[in-house]
Amino acid sequence: MKARTRWGIETAERDRRLAEYLAATSSEILPDHRWATIAAFYAAVQYVNALLFERLDFIPRSHMERESAIAMIAELNAVQDAYYRLKEAAVTARYTPRSTLTYETVRRYLDILLPAIRDAVLANLEPEG
């Protein structure tokens, strides 16, 4: 595994843990479900970037470049729907005023969509050593 790939995976894991923390600590006084969703999406971005770098020596400069590259790798193509659903949720959470997300919805993102992307990436990286 290339050093840049390892860095991407480590960044993705930090973003995933942040999303988990924000989801777990959200309350009516400080609702962080929106930011948990956004952090979950950026974890997905880093997982995808890691595999793109490992396979293609390519780091996308935009979401559009990343989405085009996803279509080039069969393993990412298999989780494209999960990626797009998570992206749509994050865009809505970030840019739609007063958007609300329930804890249950965020849990689906963290328990189903993000793990599908993470598992697809990790299963297709060479183990270290």
Instruction: Write out pLDDT tens, residues 18-43.
Output: 999 999 987 766 667 899 999 999 99
Closest CA to 48 of 18, 28, 24, 68: 68
Inside any domain, residue 129: no
Inside any domain, residue 39: yes
Quote the tokens at residue 36.
């948990």
Per-residue pLDDT, 28: 66
Inside any domain, residue 120: no
Quote the tokens at residue 45.
């971005």
Inside any domain, residue 50: yes
pLDDT, mean of residues 37-59? 96
Inside any domain, residue 16: yes
Q: Give the domain CATH number at 45.
A: 1.20.120
Q: Is the pLDDT of residue 129 over 60?
A: no
pLDDT, mean of residues 90-111? 91
Inside any domain, residue 114: no
Q: Distance between CA atoms of 6 and 54, rounded to whole angstroms?
A: 9
Structural domains counted in the chain: 1
Inside any domain, residue 124: no
- Containing domain of residue 68, as a range? 3-105
Quote the tokens at residue 49.
């970037």
Burial of 1 (0-12, 13-18, 19+ CB in 10 A): middle
Inside any domain, residue 67: yes
